[in-house]
Each structure stands twice: as C-alpha cells, then as structure tokens.
A and B are shown apart, each in its own frame.
Chain A
Amino acid sequence: MRYSGARVILEGLRGQRGWRPAWREPAPKSDYDIVIIGGGGHGLSTAYYLAREHGAKSVAVLERGWLGSGNIGRNTTIVRANYYLPGNSEFYSHSLKMWEGLERELNYNVMHSQRGLINLFHSDGQRDAFARRGNAMANQGDDAILLDRDGVRKHLPYLDFDNPRFPVYGGLLHPRGGTARHDAVAWGYARAADRRGVDLIQNCEVTGIDVQNGRVTGLQTTRGSIRAKKVGIVVAGRSSQVAAMAGLRLPIESHVLQAFVTEGLKPVINHVVSFGMGHFYISQSDKGGLVFGGDIDFYPSYAQRGNLPMAEHVMEAAMTLMPVIGQARVLRSWGGIMDMTPDGSPIIDKTGIDGLYIDCGWNYGGFKAVPASGFAFAHLIAQDRPHRIAERFRLDRFTTGRGLMDEEGTGAQHNLH
C-alpha cells in the first residue's frame, strides 16, 4: 500500500477502514541468510539496505521489545553533518544526503526539517575552533556559515546578549542541519524493510550466539534457535552484553543521556541551537514542545533515566542563554543509554569471527547516522568489506592509534565525549 495525500483523503471518506498493517507480524523461521540483532533505527535501516542495495532475500531483524524501542525513540531528533575529522566528515555528509531523499525513498514522512543548526561560541579561541569546523565542512562539500554576534542576533534575537555568564561571540550556522520525527524514522524503515520481505520479529530476545570453528552459525533466542549465515549486531545500549555472547569485549562504556520536552507552545525556537559552554542544545518540535538536553550523567548506567544534577544544569543553561523560555514547563524527561567509545566516534566493523559483524559505539550521535549507518553496515555484511564512507570506523584504531576521531579532544575516557 502506497501512502499519499489522495490515499489519506480516500481513507478519510471511508472511515480509515482500508489502512493495512504497517508491517507484518511473522513468526521466526528456523533459518535465514542474514539476521540483524536489534530492531532500532540502525538495525531496521541495515535490513532495509540489505534488501534494497544487495538484494538479500532472507533477512530477519530480531527485536527484544517493540520496534524502535531503543534510542531511536528517545533522542532529541537532531540531524546534522557538522563534523570535522576525516572519517566522520565523509560519513555524516553522506548520511545527510540520504536524509534529504529519505521520505520519498521510504514513502513515509519522517518530517525531516532542515531548519538550520547554530553552534554558539563564546571566546576567540572557540571562534577559531568553529571556523576550523566550518572549513572542514566546506572542504567536504557541506554548507557552513560563520556568524558574528550580529549575525547570530538576526537568527536568534531572543538570546541573552546583554548579560549572560558567557557572552555570545558568534555562531556556526549549518543551514542544512535540522531535525526529524524520531519514531517515524524507525517506522518508515520498518515498513519499507517489511515490504521488501524482511521479517521483523518483535519480542524476540537473543540469548546466545552460536559460533563454530571461528564462524557464526546461528542464534539462540527466546523464540527458539535460528540458523544464520551472517549475523549483524546493532544494539546500542546493550552492545557489550550481546557481543559478550560471542566472547567479544568492546571498547564501550554505557552511559545515560537525559533529554527533556516541554508542553507544546506556539513557535518560539525556529532553529536547532547548541550552547557549547553550557552543554545545552534545543529545538522546537512541530508539535510545539521544546526539545532539549545536555551532557551525559557521567556514571555508567543501563537505566533509561537520569538524576537531578544534570537536569538542573541543563535548565540553568537555558536560563542563562535564553531566558525567553523560562516560563515554559518541562513536561517529561527521559534517558537513553549511550554506547560511549574512547574517542567519541562509532564502530562499524568485522569482529574476528567470520560472519559476525558489529555496528555500535554511536555515543550520543546515532540518530542522524541512521541512514548511512544502515547503508554502510549492510554493505559490510553483504560484501564483507567496509564501504568507503565508513572505512575508518574500525575496532583496532584504539590499539594502533591510527585514525582516532576524537572530535572533542577529551581523550580516551569514555564518559568525556
């Protein structure tokens, strides 16, 4: 069933009776060519591109809970390509281009909105650092504009320019940056993958990975054993546990990142705004809620919730930067579990076990990566060699020191990125 405005009107006239399930509810088969563990954004997009790009016919996605129940459903929805280190630059640039065609690709409105993202800076040194970032983006072929204080004022007149603790010197505008409706991305990929024959299996937890003679042979699950020629692990927030089933240890520590949304309000914030000195970023959803967040809570955690000190820090940052939103009320807070890596950049790689691949370590930047991550991971699984956009996301970079992508420059401490 194809979605369209005409269809919406037709179904409106006939009482919505004709809408069919967005995806099937298949029982797991005993045997697949490829099994993807993890029905989040990355897993679903991987399955989709396996079918779409590589013609894979026998693919299943196993999801412990409900589709999209991980970080794809609990993030702050920002889509951007403003990285500056080689490896990240080309990957996120590619991902943003994929976003720009995603709705028609999936026949699903994920509400990708390129409303512009502004990173504020607060000193001469930060200006130079953001100039470098902007230049790297331009070198990559992406858009970036360095704004001075007056330039920022034109876009964001509501900031406290007069008496903030850290005055605004300017900002780096990324016009193609923006947001998307997070759940819709999962649903869009799920529906599109399902239409290409991928079996999406919910409430199916993987309990074991079968390896024989250095080669993966299948999985044990709460819904029975499944044989598989190839297995991809894409389970941010549980990466260490699932990898451990195959005897792998990862350079990952799990941390909780909180986010907040206010009651719906008439439009006030029209960009994505990021306040580096205060570890605060914000946008306003189409529904009117101010969606914002800050830094991780810093202690290792698998609980999808945080504590008050960071929540208060985030609200305080809002008050010093944009007191215009002070009277808005926070409606809901939540936490996502982040795979934090030693350099803050992700991993898409083989594992040393034939047929077993892993896509993990997205820190708190995984949402915008969903299209390209799935695309590159599907390539790796299908072709057994990395796609050029992700060839630097290697596991061994920490051992060799080659190609580290520490954008923040905070070093090999997982919770500092």
Chain B
Amino acid sequence: MRLEGRGQIDRDHPVRFTFDGRVIDAFRGDTVASALMANDIRVVGRSFKYHRPRGLYSAGSDEPNALVTTGRGRDALPNVRATMQEVWEGLDVTSQNRWPSLTRDVGAINDLFSPFLAAGFYYKTFMWPRAFWERVYEPLIRRAAGLGRLSGEAARDASEKAFAHCDVLVIGSGPAGLMAALTAARAGADVILAEEDSHMGGRLLSETDTIGGLSGPQWVGSVLNELTALPNVRVMERTTVTGAYDQGTYGALERVSLHRPPGRAPRECFWRIAATRTILAAGALERGVAFPGNDRPGVMLASALRTYVNRWGVAPGQSAVVWGNTDTAHRTARDLASAGIHVAAVIDARADATTTGDWPFYPGGEVLSTQGRLGLKGLQVRHGRREFTVWTDCLAVSGGWNPSVHLASHIGSRPVWRDDIQAFVAGPEPVPGMDVAGAANGIFDTAGCLADGLRAGNVAVQAIGLETHSPDLPDAEATPYAITPLWEVEGKGRAWLDLQNDVTTKDVRLAAQENFRSPEHMKRYTTQGMSPDQGKGSNVTALAVLAAATGATVAATGTTTYRPPFVPVTISAMGAGAKGKGFAPERFTPAHAAAVELGAPMIEAGLWYRPSFFPLSGERVWRESCDREVRMVRESVGVTEVSTLGKIEVMGPDAGTFLDVVYTNTMSSLAVGKVRYGLMLREDGHVMDDGTVARLSEDRFVLTTTTAAAAEVMRHLDFVAQGLRPGLNLRTVSVTEQWAQFAVAGPRSEALVRSILDDPAAGVLPFMGCTEASISGTGVRVFRISFSGEKGYEIAIPSDRGEALWRLLLAHARMLGGGPYGLEALNVLRIEKGFLTHAEMNGRSTAFDLGLQGMMSAKKDFIGKALAARPGLLGETREQLVGLRPVGAARMLTAGAYLFGEGAAATREAQQGFTTSVAWSPTLDTFLGLAFLVNGRARHGERLRMVDHMRNVEALVEVGPPCAFDPDGGRMRG
C-alpha cells in the first residue's frame, strides 16, 4: 500500500506499466518492486526448484525473489531484478518460472516431493537404464530448470563499451563514498564516483537520520552539487562496478537507458576503468535469519522495509513485526511507527536489550515459524518459555550486516572474520591500490562512515601525490554496533538459506553428514550461492550453519571465493559492437569494389575479402567460371589481385645477414634486381611460411608472406631482430598497405606488361628478376615471379592507384584474350604445379616433408635448423608430400581424406597418409590431389585407396610427384 506523505517519488508524474498484463499505477521514481508493493502484489516470483511463492525480500541488486522479464521479443530481458528496474510508461513486466500464473503455478507440485529432492539426490539416481538419461531424465530436468527464458530471437546490438581513466575510483555513494569522493575531488584528483542505484546517496536515501542538520537526501544533494560542478569529477549513477582486475582495472556496467522506453540510446554500457587508487565504499548487505517458513512472502529484510517505507512511501501491509539482533530492529520499528504502520511486536535476540517504543517487546525472543500461503499472516514467537502467535502481514528481519567485500576479494585476497561484528571484512589493501571504507569496512554508523570516507579519501590523495584539503565532517548519528549471533532457528519445517536455489539448512546439514564439509564442497553439493544472486544474502549464514554442523567456528570454516561479476552482466553489453561484422575489422583491397562490380563473390581470407571467381553470363556454377579462368591463364593471360600478401621491407647494412637467420636458404648472396623463393621455419623445425625475397637495392629487400601469416611473420622478424640478433643493424617495416599488387600470368603476360609500362623494355625481365618502373608516370615495382606455373609477373603500385591499375590491366588483358581470375582458379593453377599453401604448410610439416630439404643451407645457422634435425623429423617414417591422380572407376578426389594400402581396411592403424588439397584440373582433364604419405617420395607409381567417410567418397589413386604440370618449369621460365 502507498503511504501518504512519505518517500522521494514524484507524485506529480504518474506512470503506468503492466505486470503479467495487469496495469499497475506508479509514480516516477518508483521501481517495479516499490510499485508492486504499492499495489499490494505480494507474490512476485516462484522459486527455482520447489516453485514456492515468493515476495519481495530486499530492495537492491541482492534481491533473490523478484526476478522478472521486461520487454518482449528480441528486447525481452530475463531475470531483471524488480528492485533495480525503474518504472516507465508502458514498461512490460512478466513474472517467471510459473505456469499458468504466479498465484496458480502447476510447478508447485514439486514442493510436495521435496522430501525426496534433498541436496545431491540426482547424483544417487537416474542411472538406470543408461539410455534414459539423455532421452527421459535429462529433458525433464532441463525443462524444469532455469528461471527466465530467452526470447529465441537475436538480441539487438544495442549496447556500447567505453574506457575511462581516473586517479581515484570511488565505488558507492553512501556517506563513506560521498565523503571520500569529496575529499579526493577537493584535493584536485580526477575522481570517478560510481553508484549502482539510480540515485546517489546509498542508505542515506532510505534512513531518517540527519547529517549536519540536513536530512539524508538533502545532504546528499548538497555534496552532489559540489561534485558535479567540479571538472575533475565524473559522477556515474546506475553504474555497478562488476569486477576488479589487475593493475587497477575495473569493469563496470552502466544501465544507460533501461529506465526509459526503448529508443536509439545504448541500453547499457560496459566500462573498463583504469584507476590509480580505488575506494570501495559499497556498503553492507543485510542478512536474514534461517528459520522455519522464512521464505513466506511478507518476510523481508528490515533495511529493505525501511527503504520501501522511507524512500518510496510504500508498505507491504498494515502491521509488521520486527526481529533482529542489533539496534537495526529498533530503528525499523521507529520508522514504521512514524509512517503509521502498526508495530505488532519487536523481537530482539539480545536478551539484555531494552526499548523506548510503545510496542510489545520481546528481548531474547525468536520467531519459530510462519503462517500463510501466498503471503504472511502470522508468526509463532517464542519469548522465554512462552510460545504464542502474532498476527502480522510483514516480518522485518535482520541477522546483522555483511560488508560488501566482493570486489575486494576478486583478485585473490581472502576476507577476514571479525567476531565483534559477526562478519567478514576485507584484509588490508585487498586489491593493490584499493582501500575499503565505511560499512564495507565494517563500520555501521553514519558518523563512522563519514569519518572513514574522509580517511580513505585522504589516503588516496596522498598516494597520488596531491595535497590534502579535508572537508569538515558534519554531525551525524553515532551508535556503537552491538550484535549477538543470530543465524538460524531450528525447528519443524524448512528454513531457507539460498532462496533462489531452494537450499535449506537441512541441505547444508546433509552435506556435512555426507562429508561435504569444506565450504566449497558444501556449496557445490547443495548449490548454495550458485543462484543469480550468488548467495549475496545467504552465503555467510550458510557458512555459519555449516560451521555449527561440523563443530567449527565460522572463522575457521572460511568462505567460498567471490568472483566477478558482482552483479550479472549481459553478454550483449560485454560483447557490444561485435554482432554481425563488428567482431573483427574488415580489410578491403584497393581493387575490391572493382571486383564486386564484376559480380565476383567475395570470400573471407583471414580479415581480408578476396574474389572467388569472376562469373560470365551463362555460367551457372563456380566450376564453369573456374575452369574457364584456369584455361585463360594457361592459354592467354589472367590478372588477379594479390595485395593481401604480406609485404615487408628489410633495410640496412645487416639486412642480408638478418635474412640469412630467418630463412633456411641464403639471402645475403641475392643479387640486386633478383628474387628468390624463401622458406621460414619455426624454431621447432617446422615450416612457418614461405614467400619471395626481392633485393631492390644493396640494402633494401622486400619480402612477401602468405596472407594468413603476414602478422605472425612480422612479429617473428621483430622478435629475431630485437631479441635474438640485437647487434645487427637493420630496420623492418610492413609495406603491405602501401602497395597494391597484381599477378599477371599466362603466355601473353609479357605482352600485357609491356603494353602498360611507360618503358616497355622494363618488362623484359628474366625469370626471378625484379625492377622498378613506371606506369602512366606512377612508380611501380615489377617482379618476374609465378604462382601459376605460367610466365608471370607481379606488379606493385601505391595502393591509392591500385584500382586504376586493376582496371587498366583488365582492359589490356581483354584485348589479349585474357581477363581476371579469382582464388578458385589460383588454387587450381597452383595444385597443378604442386605449389604450397597453408593446407600443406599446416604447422606440422617440415621442409623435409615438403621436399624442400635442399633449401636448408648447411653453411649457416638459421631459425629452426637445429631442431629440424631431430631424428623424429626426418626419414622414412615421415609423411612426405606427393601428388595423386584417380585411377579407378571413381574419378573424384576430396581433401581431408585418408590413404590406405590397396585392399587395407580404413582404420587408424592402417592410415598411410591424407589428402591436403584437391582440384579438378581442366588443363589435364583429371582430378589432382596433393597429399602427405608415409615415405611418399619413395612410393611414386604406387596405387592406394583414398577413403573419405565424411563425404562418402572412395577412390583408387596413383602416387606421383607433387607437380603434375610442366614439371621442368619451362613455361614459367618462358
């Protein structure tokens, strides 16, 4: 019900939203939770296992019960904490884990079977018959499990990520956080103040204390006015710091527009904050008490009840009982009474407690059980020897406070038990650069929090080398904290710990009985704390119950590990920007658009896109285009773009010596104007990459790498130059982006090249020669190299003129009966020649395997030389590269198939090798394959069985050399 005249909601702005289709009236400033309470809706969710009806329990992100879904379709967001969701006009909220409705939920039948569903019962059954697990038991369990439901539609990529940097990150804006931020800000530090709530102030928004003569909200407002006016302060509300990482890095989730109707604004923003110092002032979380029937709607945390009453002006009923073990109980009773709510009883676990209030008071009493079905109606109370019933709508319970040390524990520091406050606190500097202040530091009175915030602020200011300018401390309430342990009340009926996962004290005791006695065993066996709230409200209580069951102290029992994130983070926030193409950069070659114009399908080649083939009208399948392009290259001339190849310049007096280290063959002896094929090994003796090395001048070489290995080779060269050969005087630089490069291949390639060069004579290059020339006045580099087996050139031109040169080359090629060719044809051409790609340089092959052992210089050291000589990398047991042709009735070859002796079974034991690349060769009118075959070079002429189970292809093949076309290379040398 709504309380008149209380709360910080904006009563001039009514807001309507729906809950399970019912229209709910609320005010601006309400959360879904406060609005539901205002409308007397008591059941807000169903529990995970037993489908127990559940009501609001907390008022913050630790809420275990009120998990709802907001929105529909692709915007549906499951498991939203109703306590954190601000209302907006038209907001669509539905409850979860119930059918057909919250109040009539068929799943509640599970509760009847609860005696058989104790902790870990599923480990002891469902084993027979074996096939039933996947077919019967598991589907049933899966359907029953889970809380919310994803819509099944692709989520929008509607969030964003950002970085921020500061001197001091203050987490939490209660009295300690505000004071710390003010202290640091006045000293001139760059401050980020992050607050999870929609409003700054923490508990000050929920309590009736005065500070410096102002109400809590007023004082918060005055501090905020100062902070927001400072240029060195960034105030971030709706921002939960979710994780602490190394060197002062924090993750934080900002709910940018989830409190508004959907629009174009980002929904959430995931921040990466780098902070020199951090002050953790995240407050403390109140904990409940495990007593029979404590999950009844209407039982809630005392602090939460004060928040509902004081901040939102709502109450769960006409009367309330307050039960606690600190002065919190009395504060709650006072606030309730002043709000006009009947205080039916105050029960203080401390036998020596006194009260000033005008209500039934039971020092040393306890609650034994609850009554009511869908909502609390009454309590069984024990006081002394007397047991009696108190009729009430609401029980406000407090078992004490747990400092929010989660973030302090994220990078390995263990919290420390303090007997005086019956709680875990963080150890000293639990995260490098982090200080803990206020309630998070185990200080539970306002004056103490203010002072501790000031202290922490000054520590941070000094640590970053600024002068302190301490603000004055305002007067505030200062009550010593006195607590008596109050964890559980044993009795008939179930007492819940983890409300979401339906873990009870019995489950914890059963775990101990079965020897799951360490906290981690207990947690994993019972699932205590593995629910969406991660046990925020229940873990410490569960540990206390475990300690009691094992006869140990809580301190000796210890805790489980806190891990990020502090609150659950949507994948769409942490992965923002990646949907579709945003996952990795797209790289487009200079002639990309021109290839697309010709209708070429563009396919991914690493980050690049390359044309697959260039279809002509009338060609229906890729093979027709590919075959034509291959013939075109073999018969006239073809042009293809090879700009994606890595291009690296190596310069300097020691460039040649350096290249001798990284290549297996000798490059220092290469003459100016010449190109040499080169092979690079990894230090482990396997092939890293191949490519060409051209010597443009005495002290300038240009290397090409494969497209795939370009970045790896650059990093490798940097490593060798800086780390292994720092004494050599040379410089390396990638020029991949500077040069567009085109291969011109075919018998008429020379005619084409000569026709476009300003000085046609420059086109008369010997095989493996290179020169600088010009086209229409633009300087180009011309290389006489071939990856097709035909007479071929590669022409490099500055990228800005790449598209123009491509168009020029095509125009001239067409006049010669040629045209463009794509990756498919390029692949066929190289397979016909037995040239390599990474299908063969697969990371496990050696120069020896590839038949390139002759390229390994015996006269010098090079990377990979020593380990390539290991006995296991040489000899007859190695799989060596061979060529294959089908010889039986079946004419098709496939890549990835295995080879077996003719007549041998296709088993692992009989494997002789496997195919790496295959192609239909229009030139030779047959399929061709490349393969690795055990001792293959000695087996040319042998017939084998090729089996591809995956594609259901089997063929008889004949082994030959890798090169199937023009083996002496006459065409290439031309």
A and B in direct contact, judged by CB atoms within 8 A: yes
Q: Are B867 and A308 in contact (CB under 8 A)?
A: no
- B residues near A172, Cβ cutoff 8 Å: 950
Q: Let me know if A8 and B950 touch, CB within 8 A.
A: no
Task: Please name all residues of chain A whose beta carbon is closer than 8 Å to the beta carbon of B156 when the two chains form the complex.
Answer: 326
Q: Which of B150, B518, B565, B574 contacts A312 (CB 8 A)?
A: B574
Indicate if A97 sits at the interface (CB-CB under 8 A).
Answer: no
Chain B residues with CB below 8 A from A410, complex form: 843
CA distance A411 to B897 in the complex (A): 23
> Which of A187, A267, A327 contacts B570 (CB under 8 A)?
A327
For the complex, give the distance between the alpha carbons of A286 and B134 in Å: 11
The verdict on B133 contacting chain A, using a C-beta distance below 8 Å, is yes
Partner of A411, one of B515, B604, B843: B843
B23-31, B472-480, B623-631, B678-686: which lies at the interface: B678-686
Q: B510–A318 contact, CB under 8 A?
A: no
B573 vs chain A, min Cβ distance (A): 8
* Interface residues as binary, A291-318 with B (CB distance below 8 Å gives 1, 0 otherwise): 0000000000001110110011011111
Decide if B123 touches A187 in the complex (CB within 8 Å): yes
Q: Given contacts A86-B908, A266-B149, A319-B572, are A401 and B515 in contact (CB under 8 A)?
A: no
Residue-wise, chain B 381-421 has the 8 Å CB interface mask toward A (1 for contact) of 00000000000000000000000000000111000000000
Per-position 1/0 for A160-187, Cβ under 8 A of B: 1001111100001000000001011001
> In the complex, A15→B514 CA distance in Å?
14
A220 interfacial by beta-carbon distance below 8 Å? no
Name the B residues within 8 Å of A336 (CB-CB).
none
Contact pattern, B 892-931, Cβ under 8 Å of A = 1, otherwise 0: 0011111000000011101100101100000000000000
Chain B residues with CB under 8 Å of A132's CB are 895-898, 914
Q: With the chains together, A330 CA to B518 CA distance in Å?
A: 26
Q: For chain A residues 115-163, which have a beta carbon within 8 Å of chain B?
A: 115, 122-123, 125, 127-136, 138-141, 144-146, 158, 160, 163
Assess the A135–B514 pair: CB atoms within 8 A: no
Partner of B896, one of A9, A135, A330, A331: A135
Q: Does A25 contact B (CB under 8 A)?
A: yes
Contact between A104 and B571, CB atoms less than 8 A apart: no
Closest Cβ of chain B to A219, distance in Å, is: 22
CB contact between B150 and one of A12, A108, A325 (< 8 Å): that residue: A325
Any A CB within 8 A of the CB of B148: yes
A16 touches B506 (CB 8 A): yes
- Say yes or no: B604 contacts A122, CB within 8 Å: yes
B838 to A, closest residue via Cβ:
A125
Q: A134-B950, A324-B154 known; A183 and B524 CB under 8 Å?
A: yes
> How far in angstroms is the closest Cβ of chain A from B528?
13
Whole-angstrom distance from the CB of A243 to the nearest CB of chain B? 22
Q: Which of B71-79, B726-734, B797-805 participates in binding chain A? A: B71-79
Among listed B10-18, B124-132, B214-222, interface-contacting one = B124-132
Which of B75, B574, B871, B873 is in CB contact (< 8 Å) with A330?
B574
- Tell me which residues from 1 to 52 in chain A have a Cβ below 8 Å from any Cβ of chain B: 3-5, 7-9, 11-13, 15-16, 19-25
Size bracket of the A interface: 35 or more
CA distance in complex: A305, B412 (Å): 8
- The answer to whether B514 touches A111, judged by C-beta atoms less than 8 angstroms apart, is no
Given A264-B147, A320-B582, A329-B571, A400 contacting B872 (CB threshold 8 A)? yes
> Distance in Å from the Cβ of A157 to the closest Cβ of chain B?
9
B481: Cβ under 8 A from any A Cβ: no
* Chain A binder among B135-143, B315-323, B463-471, B638-646: B135-143
Within 8 A of B (CB), among A350-407: 397, 399-404, 406
Please state if A323 and B130 are interface contacts (CB–CB under 8 Å): no
Shortest CB-to-CB span from A201 to chain B, Å, is: 13
Answer yes or no: A328 CB below 8 A from chain B CBs. Answer: yes
> Quick check: B950 and A138 within 8 Å, CB to CB?
yes
Contact A22 B118 (CB under 8 A): no
Q: A225 at the A/B interface (Cβ < 8 Å)?
A: no
**Does the CB pair A327–B76 fall under 8 Å?**
yes
In the assembled complex, the Cα of A284 lies from the Cα of B138 at a distance in Å of: 12
In the docked arrangement, what's the CA distance between A102 and B132, Å? 15
Q: Is the interface of B mostly helix, strand, loop or mixed?
A: loop
Does B82 lie at the interface of the complex (its beta carbon under 8 Å from any beta carbon of A)?
A: no
**A316 in contact with B583 (CB, 8 Å):** yes
The verdict on B115 contacting chain A, using a C-beta distance below 8 Å, is yes
Q: Is B870 an interface residue, CB under 8 A from the partner?
A: yes
Question: By CB atoms of chain A within 10 A, which of B134, B897, B908 has the most?
Answer: B908
From A262, A342, A400, give the contact of B568 (CB < 8 A): A262
Contact A12 B575, beta carbon cutoff 8 Å: no
B127 touches A104 (CB 8 A): yes
**Is A288 engaged at the interface, CB distance under 8 Å to the other chain?**
yes
Q: Check if A90 is an interface residue, CB within 8 A of chain B.
A: yes
Q: Which of B126, B146, B684 has the most CB of A within 10 A?
A: B146
Check B578 for interface membership: any CB of A closer than 8 A.
yes
Closest to A85 in B: B844
Task: Knowing A21-B513, A131-B897, say if A397 contacts B950 (CB, 8 Å).
Answer: no
A5 CB contact (under 8 Å) in B125, B510, B568, B683: B125
Task: Find out whether the CB atom of B682 lies under 8 angstroms from the CB atom of A326.
Answer: no
Chain B 840-868 residues near chain A, CB threshold 8 A: 842-844, 867
Q: How far is the CA of A140 from the CA of B524 in the complex (A)?
A: 36
Taking CB atoms, residues of chain A closer than 8 Å to B121 are: 8, 12
Known A312-B574, A409-B844; judge A329-B79 contact (CB<8 A): yes
Given known A69-B520, A319-B575, A412-B684, contact A109–B126 (CB-CB < 8 A): yes
The answer for the CA separation of A288 and B604 in the assembled complex, in Å, is 35
Are A163 and B844 CB-contacts (below 8 A) given A8-B124, A113-B138, A135-B914? no
Q: Please, how many angstroms separate the alpha-carbon atoms of A412 and B843 in the complex?
A: 10
Whether A165 and B584, one on each chain, are in contact in the complex, defined by CB atoms closer than 8 angstroms, is: yes
- Inter-chain CA distance A112–B123, complex, in Å, is 11
Known: A66-B518, A138-B950, A403-B872. A89 touches B126 (CB 8 A): no
Give every chain A residue within 8 A of B152 (Cβ-Cβ): 158, 268, 324
Selected interface stretch from B245-253, B343-351, B369-377, B880-888: B245-253
| A94 CB to nearest chain B CB (Å) | 12
Q: Which residues of A contact B516 (CB under 8 A)?
A: 22
CA separation between A369 and B571, bound complex, in Å? 30
| Alpha-carbon separation in the docked complex, A262 to B575 (Å) | 14
Interface string of B563-604 (1 = CB under 8 A from A): 111001111101111111111101000000000000000011
In the assembled complex, the CB of A241 is this many whole angstroms from the nearest CB of chain B, namely: 17
On whether the beta carbons of A135 and B947 are closer than 8 Å, the reply is yes
Chain B CB within 8 A of A333 CB: yes
Verify if B948 is at the interface (C-beta below 8 Å from A): yes
Find chain B residues with CB under 8 A from A86 CB: 908, 911
Please tell me if B968 contacts chain A, counting CB pairs below 8 Å: no
Partner of B578, one of A3, A288, A311, A316: A316
> Does B604 lie within 8 Å of A25, measured CB to CB?
no
What is the bound-complex CA distance between A408 and B116, given in angstroms? 47
Q: How far, in angstroms, from A103 to B124 measured CA to CA in the complex? A: 10
Residue in A11, A110, A127, A141 whose CB lies within 8 Å of B907: A141
**Per-position 1/0 for B328-370, Cβ under 8 A of A:** 0000000000000000000000000000000000000000000
Residues of B within 8 A of A89 (CB): 908
Residue in chain B with minimal CB distance to A172: B950
Known A-B contacts A165-B582, A308-B251; the reply to A4 vs B124 at CB < 8 A is yes
**Residues of A near any B CB (own CB < 8 A):** 3-5, 7-9, 11-13, 15-16, 19-25, 65-69, 73, 86, 89-90, 100-101, 103-104, 107-115, 122-123, 125, 127-136, 138-141, 144-146, 158, 160, 163-167, 172, 181, 183-184, 187-188, 202, 262-268, 278, 284, 286-288, 303-305, 307-308, 311-312, 314-320, 323-334, 342, 397, 399-404, 406, 408-412
9 A-B pairs with C-beta separation under 8 A: A67-B521, A114-B134, A139-B949, A144-B949, A172-B950, A187-B123, A329-B79, A330-B568, A330-B569
Closest 5 pairs between A and B when the two form their complex, measured CB to CB: A409-B843, A326-B155, A288-B146, A401-B870, A401-B872
Given contacts A146-B950, A319-B571, A409-B843, 10 further A-B contacts (CB under 8 A): A7-B124, A22-B515, A107-B127, A109-B127, A131-B894, A165-B584, A319-B582, A325-B571, A327-B78, A342-B684
